[in-house]
Structure 1
Amino acid sequence: MARILIRAGKDPFTAVVPETTLTQDVFNSNSGNFLFQHSVWKALDVAPHELVANSTLSERRAATADDAARMNDEFDHFVVPMANSFRADFADKLDNLAALVEQLTIPVTVIGIGAQAPADRSFDALADVRDVTRRFVAAVLERSASIGVRGEFTRDFLVDLGFPGDSIDVIGCPSLFLHGPDLKVRDVPASLAEDAALGLNLTPEVPGIGAFATEQGARHPNLTYVGQDQHDLRLLLWGVPHPHVTDPLVPAHLRHPLYQQDRMRLFVDTWSWYDFLAQQDFVYGTRFHGNVAALLAGTPALMLAHDSRTLELAEYHRMPHRLQPRFDEPVRVEDLLEATDLAPFHEALPERFDRYAAFLERNGLEHRWQPGRDASQFDDRLEAASFPPAVHTLARPDLGEVAARLDWLRHAMVIDMTRHPKRYDYPFDTPAYQGAGSRHARLADQRDERAKRQQQRIDELTARIDRLERVTPGGLLVRLARRLRALFRG
């Protein structure tokens, strides 16, 4: 049996409520990360191997010698599903991860890593990450047969850094291989009714996307915007606007029509996300994993590729897409539907999957699609699991979201009283507040009084035993000891 440590926020079976997902950043700032992390998990979860999530601790802080020692001692392989990690704002985390890998003696396999640049795909935009990328890739290749990258652009970048081409396998994103080589997306509808169920995903920073999103919502009454990142989740849970988005037309604040009409959702697990998208007629937008989730659910989708990472992946997997680095002109969903051709995607999938499987085998990783592999442990655990429903806006008509938030806050009240930034600091030492006359206060008083009486009785009996040890036969001591035990049990 092999023990495999996987870079993942959590395993695919553990339900984490949305509030905790946000406060502990379980999804690493974006729910799309679960798609590729859990797809890799499903591929490798074969008996009798044991898989463990590392909670992405490897990049949350600088690695220590103890971290590496534990991994070397407890695990046989470190598997690292990645995304667009060769980018400036990920450089410090990549540096932490490189420092850890350099201390490992076990094999390390990186799956699906990519570079991020503007749509013109110039290496100039990657100047700030060249050194850390070189350090990380060098450490990985010392511990693996190859590194798996998202597409040709990323491979060319690594070759430009001096790495040999035969050590770089282009495998795309593992998320699209969740169902193996036989995924079939249903046919694109010939037309859309006025009340068609549409799924929209978007990247708030793309120029002009606010007008696009607002206009789409106004034209299509059954359109739902599915958010993905931590700012979307904070907005849905607490009404807090995105801190870096100033365009009022972007659905990034609670006054936007899509928020007020409760036409926004976010999923903190992939399986409920797939279930929702399976009910949509068509999905479109700028998020790669937002559109992948639709395809995995069997729903036609078209990606509006706005930068190198989305374009690279769309081209490699031959996903329906069009280049859309900005939204200067109105976009009609009818035109997007007409441009959606799934035939190239279906034709490419088996060959792309074979490349992925060959990469896993090249790096010594057994997977569920090999003959004779027992993958029932994954399937059984997933069947038994249950997950939180979609997160709505606070404008949900039945007030269910408001009640859920208040319930979470009520359970966190004691903790919040000690750390809330607007708490009142007493000028003198004051006992912790429990609410005068409240049930909590009464119970606390009762517990204190009961404990005091028990301690007094224990002290009395102990003193009697001390005296009787000197003047009485042993039988009386035994009886008193029994009374003591009875008291403790009571």
Structure 2
Amino acid sequence: MKTALVHFNHSSNENLTTWPDMRTSKWKPNYGDMLVCAAILREVPMEDTVRIGFGGVLSQPVDRALIRGSTYLHNNMDFEAVNKTLDSIDAPLAIVGLGAQNPTQDVGFLDQNEGAKGFVARLDERSKSISVRGQFTADLLERLGAKNIRITGCPSLFYTLKCPQVSIPARLSSRKRAIGISLHSGLMGNIYCVAPKEARRAHVDAIQYGIKECAKLSLFEQGVMTEFKVADSQLPMIERMEAAAAVIKNIAGENELTPQDLVRHMVSVRSIEEWLSLAAELDAIIGFRFHGNMVALLQGKPCFYFVYDSRITEFCQLYKLPYQDVREEWKDPVQAMMEHDWDAANAAIQACQNELKLFYQENGFSIATSDPANKKEKQSDCGAGI
């Protein structure tokens, strides 16, 4: 059975899900996308695949198509390109982990977008069900005419093929704690952020907290070039310090932070496996990145989100995770994690894994029970892919 992998933009090297050097590659990887792609390919074994990107036309027959879900539902999406690709695939469609992107949870924000309505109509007609990231996306899809919806969360949370069970490490309550902070210092006033000034400023509070309250602090960059330069040990120290100063200026932290603070603690990863390995050494991860905090959950560690858009808010509400709006007064994230009901979070995560399995099954995909063997995949001849 041949499967079209639609909008999969991962790369790999020697059985690892890796990405190129941000400094030298024209292709700038999205670390979260890498995790999503890798997770899906581990969860559903597929013998024969061909990759195609949005905007391409599939020129060979396939038996089915699996679309890597992301936050496609927004007004900046090129739905003409998306629908062109879907119309070229003469086979059933299945999209896993579809999400909506808006500064606020306004369920009517796509009411006038005919391309979005066409996209949803195609999915609803040609899929047994549609997998979505949360209730906000489900409500939006229903408003746009979809009927068969399963709320599964993001498939990346089940990368290990097991259901994460989060517990509080004993060290978290002590000053010996090791904390990670997922950074997103480039937030601007657009569809990705309702309060950019507050979101950037919250980085200062989080970093100061990590320096003062933790024995070990890791600041995880996730694809913002200035942050990457701070972590890049191949660069001369003067360039790293200049990049650190630029990050600090952007988050209005000149009076509280020094470039040395960032250089000392900034971390960069080049593969999913390295990312998870570093997360395993920490007691928790707090911060601003959807997948940057998720790697803690994948290791059974708690996390705390600073939210600033519909996407991350929806995620936290679905999985019953602790969070605060960046516009709210600062609260101690460790205390919030210590007091949180993780049994409720674990139950919510388990419910989503159950829904994800049902989604795969009803759309005709077998589910892996152990790490799948590595399969070779062919590149579409229509110019798609990475």
TM tier, shorter chain? 0.7 to 0.9
Q: Deviations over 1:430-474 (max 9, x none)?
A: xxxxxxxxxxxxxxxxxxxxxxxxxxxxxxxxxxxxxxxxxxxxx
Q: Write the letter of the residue equivalent to 1:155.
A: A
Higher relative contact order structure (alpha carbons within 8 Å, sequence separation ≥ 6): 2
Higher helix share: 1
Give 1:98's match in structure 2, choosing from 83, 91, 99. 83
**Aligned counterpart, 2:342:** 342
**Aligned counterpart, 1:260:** 263
Q: TM-score under structure 2 normalisation?
A: 0.79
Distance 1:153 1:109 in 2: 20
Q: Is 1:192 paired with 2:186?
A: no
1:230 CA drift (Å): 4.0
Contact kept? 1:150, 1:173, Cα under 8 Å: yes
**Aligned counterpart, 2:325:** 324
Distance 1:144 1:175 in 2: 21
- Secondary structure of the 2:116 match is helix
**Aligned counterpart, 1:58:** 53
Contact kept? 1:22, 1:234, Cα under 8 Å: no
Contact kept? 2:202, 2:326, Cα under 8 Å: no
Give 1:173's match in structure 2, choosing from 151, 154, 162. 154
**Aligned counterpart, 2:219:** 225
**Aligned counterpart, 1:154:** 137
Distance 2:75 2:372 in 1: 41
Q: Is 1:114 paired with 2:116?
A: no
1:332 CA drift (Å): 2.5
- Secondary structure of the 1:203 match is coil
- Secondary structure of the 1:258 match is helix
- Secondary structure of the 1:19 match is coil
Contact kept? 1:210, 1:247, Cα under 8 Å: no
- Secondary structure of the 1:85 match is coil
Q: Is 1:134 paired with 2:135?
A: no
1:36 CA drift (Å): 1.7
**Aligned counterpart, 1:203:** 184
Q: Write the letter of the residue equivalent to 1:322.
A: Y
Higher strand share: 2
RMSD value, Cα = 3.2
1:303 CA drift (Å): 2.3
Q: Deviations over 1:4-59 (max 9, x none)?
A: 425322255356564268624263xx20112221111101125xx2345x3xx613
**Aligned counterpart, 1:80:** 67
Q: Write the letter of the residue equivalent to 1:213.
A: A
1:118 CA drift (Å): 2.8
1:138 CA drift (Å): 1.9
Change (3 A) 1:364 1:250: farther
- Secondary structure of the 1:302 match is strand
Map residues 261-280 of structure 1 onto 2, 5 A cutoff.
261=264, 263-280=265-282
Contact kept? 2:168, 2:338, Cα under 8 Å: no
Q: Is 1:351 paired with 2:345?
A: no
1:265 CA drift (Å): 1.2
Change (3 A) 1:275 1:244: closer
Contact kept? 2:63, 2:91, Cα under 8 Å: yes
Contact kept? 1:86, 1:115, Cα under 8 Å: yes
Contact kept? 1:311, 1:323, Cα under 8 Å: no
1:301 CA drift (Å): 1.6
Change (3 A) 1:14 1:26: farther
Distance 1:15 1:158 in 2: 32
Gaps of 5+ in 1: 382-490
Contact kept? 1:22, 1:230, Cα under 8 Å: no
Distance 1:50 1:375 in 2: 17
1:292 CA drift (Å): 1.1
Contact kept? 1:248, 1:256, Cα under 8 Å: no
Distance 2:307 2:180 in 1: 16
Map residues 391-470 of structure 1 onto 2, 5 A cutoff.
none
1:284 CA drift (Å): 1.1
Give 1:377's match in structure 2, choosing from 370, 373, 378. 373
Q: Deviations over 1:67-106 (max 9, x none)?
A: 321xx33x332211222221234x12x4322211122102
Change (3 A) 1:227 1:102: same
Q: Write the letter of the residue equivalent to 1:364.
A: G
Q: TM-score under structure 1 normalisation?
A: 0.64
Gaps of 5+ in 2: 188-195, 377-386
What is the aligned length? Answer: 350
1:112 CA drift (Å): 0.6
Change (3 A) 1:160 1:6: closer
Contact kept? 1:22, 1:233, Cα under 8 Å: no
Contact kept? 1:213, 1:250, Cα under 8 Å: no
- Secondary structure of the 2:53 match is helix
1:294 CA drift (Å): 0.8
Change (3 A) 1:282 1:313: same
User: Deviating runs (4+, > 6 A) in structure 1?
Assistant: 242-245
- Secondary structure of the 2:250 match is coil
1:271 CA drift (Å): 1.2
Aligned-pair identity (%): 21
1:343 CA drift (Å): 0.9
- Secondary structure of the 1:377 match is coil
Change (3 A) 1:244 1:96: farther
Contact kept? 2:316, 2:322, Cα under 8 Å: yes
Contact kept? 2:173, 2:338, Cα under 8 Å: no
